[in-house]
């Protein structure tokens, strides 16, 4: 049975990944780790929880040894918008944090490290439509640069030290369980919340801004499916494109209106976030993941919208 550490466990993906892993491997075998944010009851009571700063290597080492960790899901990160607001913090967390986790894995004989890369690893010179798995990477954000760093270091630690490092390049991730925290694609979460709360939403991106997206159940499915894939099937290790759908703010608003006819959207473009979005792919080619380890998403825009609105009505008491 695996002994798993999840850093960034209180974040958007981590907070839903941990319960999934505990259901699969047993609550006592999955250690959730946060930095400062107090965990919710599910994280705290469902299994062990530790406060771990990934910028403190000695603490990271000691907790890996204490809990006999053999697998790390390294989800701790400063997201795109927040990273641009504080690039110095992003550099420390997203570069040094990645390095510290990989070094801790090497020194403590951890078998496998899983981490999320991002479409932010691509840039203006990358093909924007059906961006291939292997393409020019020239990101213009500190967040994107950190993801390229993570991918390259993942490959290095696999080939140099035989640490089984694997990663998926996530598109925008959408979830009803947690509210947005500062990602460029977070409008696609906020729009559902505001559709339920007020029936209207002001979008910070242009109505025709096409970006690849994925619903949280598929995000969790992709990274855990890659973790379970046989090593002989893996050809990319730390940089697999995965995607589920691509849409614009105008298209997601139209889908919401099918359920909430009175919903209204307006646009007040944030030039900084728009520039980030315009440097990212509009769609991804994830044929490598589909071929190598059988990746296939379950949700499209229609199915995701129905599920999001049903769950948010319950969460927000608007049934």
End-to-end Cα spacing for the chain = 41
Q: Which residues contact 152 (CB under 8 A, 6 or more apart)?
A: 238
Of 73, 99, 143, 267, which residue is the catalytic one? 143
What's the token pair of residue 101? Answer: 């986790």
> Which are the contacts of 283, defined by CB distance < 8 A and separation ≥ 6?
128, 129, 130, 131, 210, 212, 243, 246
Please enumerate in sequence order all residues whose Cβ is within 8 A of that of 23, keeping only pairs 6 or more positions apart, or say none: none
Distance CA 24, CA 253 (A): 36
- CA distances, 145 to each of 119, 266, 272 (Å): 11, 32, 17
**97-107 and 57-66 are packed helices; what angle lies between their axes, rounded to 10 degrees?**
40
Name which of 303, 289, 317 is nearest 225 in CA terms.
289
For the record, the structure tokens of 220 come out as 């969790």
Q: Report CA torsion sign: 134, 213, 206, 182.
A: negative
Closest CA to 121 of 20, 9, 239, 38: 239
Let me know if 143 is a catalytic residue.
yes
Alpha carbons within 13 angstroms on the beta-carbon side of residue 124 total 4
Residue with tokens 């999840």: 6
Which residues have a catalytic role annotated?
A: 143
């Amino acid at each position: 049975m695996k002994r798993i550490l999840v850093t960034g466990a209180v974040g958007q993906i981590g907070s839903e990944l941990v319960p999934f892993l505990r259901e699969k491997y047993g609550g006592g075998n999955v250690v959730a780790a946060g930095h400062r944010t107090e965990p919710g009851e599910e994280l705290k009571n469902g299994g062990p929880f530790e406060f771990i700063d990934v910028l403190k290597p000695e603490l990271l080492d000691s907790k890996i040894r204490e809990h006999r960790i053999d697998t790390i899901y390294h989800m701790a990160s400063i997201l795109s918008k927040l990273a641009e607001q504080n690039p110095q913090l992003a550099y420390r967390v997203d570069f040094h944090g990645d390095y510290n986790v990989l070094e801790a894995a090497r020194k403590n004989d951890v078998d496998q490290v899983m981490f999320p890369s991002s479409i932010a690893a691509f840039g203006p010179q990358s093909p924007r439509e059906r961006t291939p798995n292997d393409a020019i990477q020239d990101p213009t954000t500190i967040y994107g640069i950190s993801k390229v760093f993570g991918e390259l270091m993942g490959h290095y630690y696999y080939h140099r030290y035989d640490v089984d490092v694997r990663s998926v390049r996530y598109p925008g991730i959408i979830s009803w369980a947690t509210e947005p925290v500062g990602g460029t694609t977070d409008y696609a979460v906020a729009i559902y919340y505001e559709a339920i709360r007020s029936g209207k939403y002001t979008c910070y991106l242009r109505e025709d801004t096409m970006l690849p997206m994925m619903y949280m159940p598929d995000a969790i499915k992709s990274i855990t499916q890659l973790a379970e894939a046989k090593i002989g099937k893996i050809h990319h290790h730390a940089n697999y494109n995965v995607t589920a759908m691509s849409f614009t703010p105008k298209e997601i608003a139209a889908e919401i209106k099918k359920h909430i006819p009175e919903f209204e959207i307006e646009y007040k473009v944030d030039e900084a976030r728009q520039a980030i979005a315009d440097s990212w792919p509009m769609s991804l080619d994830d044929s490598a993941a589909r071929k190598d380890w059988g990746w296939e998403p379950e949700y499209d825009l229609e199915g995701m919208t129905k599920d999001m609105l049903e769950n948010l009505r319950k969460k927000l008491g608007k049934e």
